[in-house]
Amino acid sequence: MLSVRDKIRLKHFSIRTERAYTSWIRRFLLAFPGRYPRDLGAPEVEQFLTVLATEGQVAAATQSQALSALLFLYREVMGLDLPWLDDITRAKPSRRLPVVLDRSEVRSLLHQLDGREWLMASLLYGTGMRLMECVRLRIKDIDFLRHEIVVRNGKGAKDRVTMLPRSLVEALGRQIEKAEAIHQSDVEDGYGTTWLPQALARKYPNAARELGWQYVFPASRRSMDPRSDLETRHHVDEQVLQRAIRQALRRVGIRKPASCHTLRHSFATHLLESGYDIRTVQELLGHSDVSTTQIYTHVLNRGAGGVLSPLDR
């Protein structure tokens, strides 16, 4: 498993991808005990993935992730190319309409939050960022003069620019002051570094201590970086906001199966309701294809007032 991790880190994959891939590879090997990976090939991969789909009833995305992990093992680590796996029983992908809150529900939800959690939830709804894009936000990527936020390394390893809501400028400034105070305390204690992508860490050795590279929402305590074994200040755990959102939904009585990502869906839907061009919304969301953004037009068309029932005529 060490060679798998080495190869993943050589390709600069995220720590989440590393954990997911090593977990799937471990499960695959445990499914065929006593046999070496080189003795396992396409038939075993087909059997493993078919069992996931038929007996495990996993989602299509989960099965696809498992397949990607095994292809990485054989192609990148072992240097073997598997034949085309035509006989795999793939989980049928589903395309569901996103859950969207109306404006009054968003207001009620935000009123149940305060402090850091309120600010993070407001950013999700006010900018269209994903949850992990929000918790990974760095101080240097906020431009108060231009009222812009640069979202770095989003889905598909792409950067994009979204707006900085003017109503959040003051609260975001206070949060950055808190992050700066935490960073200064870490420096005085002999620490003060944060995680940087490997190439940047080598090119700019001192950047990890600079204020601009610190997270806007730092963790409450320092932790050991699993790759460098250094004690650093990471970003806040995303589960902090997820729990706060779940509790707020219960308190306000919203019965929809909403989550942090629902605020991003609501951002896109409300922009389209306000008459903004779908291409503009596509750019703000960071979608590669406008067809991905078009799902929100279906939400608009299927709303309670989107179509007049023939009975009402």
Q: Residues 133-165: pLDDT tens digits? A: 999 999 999 999 999 999 998 887 789 999 999
- Taking residues 217-237, what's their average pLDDT? 90
Going by C-alpha positions, the residue among 102, 45, 43 that lies closest to residue 72 is 45
- Taking residues 98-120, what's their average pLDDT? 96
- Taking residues 282-296, what's their average pLDDT? 89
Under DSSP, the state recorded for 138 is B
pLDDT at residue 63 greater than cutoff 80? yes
Which is the catalytic residue, given 21, 74, 125, 130?
130
Is 120:248 a contact under the CB 8 Å cutoff? Answer: no
Host H or E run for residue 220: none
pLDDT at residue 306 greater than cutoff 60? no
183 is a catalytic site residue: no
pLDDT for position 232: 92
Which is the catalytic residue, given 160, 233, 264, 265?
264
CA dist 235 → 52, 126, 131, 135, 286 (Å): 34, 20, 12, 6, 22
pLDDT at residue 305 greater than cutoff 60? no
Instruction: Enumerate the β-bridge partners of residue 224.
Output: 231
Banded pLDDT at 89 (limits 50, 70, 90): low
Banded pLDDT at 243 (limits 50, 70, 90): very high
35 is a catalytic site residue: no
Banded pLDDT at 91 (limits 50, 70, 90): low
The first and second tokens of residue 305, run together, are 């007032």
pLDDT at residue 301 greater than cutoff 90? no
pLDDT at residue 1 greater than cutoff 60? no
Choose between 148 and 301: higher pLDDT: 148
Which is the catalytic residue, given 21, 74, 215, 296?
296
Cα separation of 194 and 208, whole Å? 5
Cα separation of 13 and 197, whole Å? 10
Which is the catalytic residue, given 140, 155, 209, 234?
155
261 is a catalytic site residue: yes
In order of their start, the domains of the chain are: 2-77 (1.10.150.130), 95-305 (1.10.443.10)
Instruction: Enumerate the β-bridge partners of residue 148.
Output: 143, 163
pLDDT at residue 101 greater than cutoff 60? yes
Q: Residues 7-45: pLDDT tens digits? A: 888 887 888 889 999 999 999 999 998 888 888 877 888
215 is a catalytic site residue: no
Amino acid at 126: G
pLDDT for position 204: 84
Q: Residues 66-75: pLDDT tens digits? A: 988 988 888 8
Cα separation of 135 and 142, whole Å? 13
296 is a catalytic site residue: yes
pLDDT at residue 312 greater than cutoff 90? no
N- to C-terminal Cα separation, the chain: 66
